[in-house]
Structure 1
């Protein structure tokens, strides 16, 4: 008896879950459109490998405005990208990947450094 006032609310919620009969059917996208949408911005894996797995890193430097103690502080942000061997089992960097090559996987690592006066 105490749940009787909830029935109208539940019926309204249930009725609102159904699409009206005059709702337009969803438009199916063609296979070509779907494949084009999936490749927008995609990078060829060979190009990625040739660029990142050369044993070198990439440095990016930016001007930085960092707010600290309610005031903007001028500084510099440096992003260092590098690939390195990683242990799948231990989830840490591998110092000697040749010791267990089945556990090693190459990962792309980012070091983000912000320098500004406090």
Structure 2
């Protein structure tokens, strides 16, 4: 990790050079980089033959799901996701559970 940080040291207050200028366009710079990163993740997923399009959201979703399945506390998951409150994390994790049920229902219906 330290070698990555050293490689990308920049003159801004940010850890990595995603935002290059601090001139009021930081949010747009962030969005542009997020689009770029997600485009590259999708290409990597296709190269690996992964059927679901990879994105930063998929990574967060996967991390939170695995953490919950491993019994990691809500407060740690909340902090890891950068949520301001554990209630936000609870809602997020509940939506993950609903998607698992939706997927199970789809598998059952497809088998009929």
Greater gyration radius: 1
Give the TM-score, by structure 2 length.
0.21
Query: Higher relative CO (CA 8 A, sep ≥ 6), structure 1 or 2?
Result: 1
- Greater fraction of residues in helix: 2
Give the TM-score, by structure 1 length.
0.20
